[in-house]
Amino acid sequence: MPRGTTGGTPQVLLAHHLKQLKLPTVLREYDKVARECARDGVDHPRYLLRLIELELIDRERRMVERRIKAARFPAVKSFDTFDFTAIPTLNKMLVLELARSEFILRRENVIALGNSGTGKTHVALALGLAACQKGFTVSFTTAAALVHQLMEARDERRLLKTQRDLQAVKLLIVDELGYVPLSPTGAELLFEVFSQRYERGSTIVTSNLPFEDWTSILHSERLTGALLDRLTHHVHILTMNGDSYRLRQSSGNSRSPFSAEKGEQNQAIAEAVDPETGEISAT
């Protein structure tokens, strides 16, 4: 046995070296693949090739998983579970084109507009997932959470670092702009994020408010104008107006609309119930 390898059997050393080289799949599979190759009469280069290909496939999968985790999606949703027929105002061809993630390379934005429960968040999540799978870094947040994060960073004197992190991500998803009115400082900070990302990275925004009402949450007409100017310069608009998918599901599936399991559903229903008649209005 050559000097230097007396410390253990070749298997032990190999395991050690493969761990150091971060090749977990080679370590896990080399013995099994070797037996298969011996059985099939496959030569050494092909054996090595099979093994390395397995490592590459696994590595790609691990990286996608890491990007999904880093994106902090509230749920993992894809277009496989999205019913396009439920929302006829949505341009399916455009959405499927966006799912190819090329808009991220072109640093274009996407704005999904429509009333509550029409699948805006679902579409944003699915576009985010597709981007993770294509190799882009993604970050998901809501407008309220983002503003909160920025205010906190400012108070703790680390605003610059937070802004840089938000600028670096290839696709930033800002969900639910419009549900919570922002403070003037919050609106300024949000504007800065969009401004800093302008032509540097892609942003997806979902909102229940049409553009003309954005002033009501950002307060200043000047700020709203400047923000829309940047956000809509290179933009794909997804029009998502229609019946609430949540409402339709729950009123179709349960005897009483209030037996819906999720609090979220209950809230959506509560908002749509006519206090006079107790009937659900189709909004």
**Contact set with ligand ADP (CB under 6 A):** 77, 81-83, 86-87, 116-122, 245-246
In the complex, what is the shortest distance from the CB of residue 120 to Mg ion, in angstroms, rounded to a whole number?
5
The region of 93-101, 115-123, 182-190, 224-232 touching Mg ion under the rule CB under 5 A is 115-123
Q: Which is nearer to Mg ion, 125 or 153 (CB)?
A: 125
d(CA 261, CA 103): 37
d(CA 275, CA 271): 10
d(CA 215, CA 221): 6
In the complex, what is the shortest distance from the CB of residue 175 to Mg ion, in angstroms, rounded to a whole number?
6
In the complex, what is the shortest distance from the CB of residue 225 to Mg ion, in angstroms, rounded to a whole number?
25
Q: Which is nearer to Mg ion, 121 or 265 (CB)?
A: 121
Q: Is 208 in the site for Mg ion (CB under 5 A)?
A: no
In the complex, what is the shortest distance from the CB of residue 208 to Mg ion, in angstroms, rounded to a whole number?
8
Q: Is 244 in the site for Mg ion (CB under 5 A)?
A: no
Q: Out of ligand ADP, Mg ion, none, which partner does residue 82 contact, by CB within 5 to 8 A per kind?
A: ligand ADP
Q: Which is nearer to ligand ADP, 70 or 86 (CB)?
A: 86
Q: Which residue has the tokens 């229609």?
A: 242
Q: Is 121 in the site for Mg ion (CB under 5 A)?
A: yes
Q: Out of Mg ion, ligand ADP, none, which partner does residue 197 contact, by CB within 5 to 8 A per kind?
A: none
Which residues are registered as beta bridge partners of 280? Answer: 273
In the complex, what is the shortest distance from the CB of residue 18 to ligand ADP, in angstroms, rounded to a whole number?
42
d(CA 191, CA 143): 11
Q: Give the footprint of Mg ion on this chain (CB under 5 A).
A: 121
